[in-house]
Amino acid sequence: LVAWDKSGKQFEAGVWPEQQYNMTRLLYDDLSTWRSDLKKTAISIAPLSYSLFPPSSVPPQQRATWIESAAGDLLKGGSFLWFGTDENGRTRNLAHPALRDTCVAFFYTGPYRVARRQPDHFRTQLPISCLALVATAFHCIFDGLEKNGTGKCYPNFSSKDYSPVYRKMLQIIKDTLKNEYHGPRLLAQLREWAEVGWAENIKLDGSAAEARHDHLQVILD
pLDDT 10s digits, 60-81: 999 999 999 999 999 999 999 9
pLDDT of residue 39: 95
pLDDT surpassing 70 at residue 5: no
Q: pLDDT-derived band of residue 21, with 50, 70 and 90 as boundaries?
A: very low
**133: nearest Cα among 97, 96, 107:** 107
- Model confidence, pTM: 0.80
Which backbone phi and psi does 71 adopt, to 5 degrees? -65, -40
For the ranges 52-61, 95-104, 145-154, 207-216, the lowest mean pLDDT is seen at 207-216
Helix axes 128-147, 159-178, angle to 10 degrees: 130
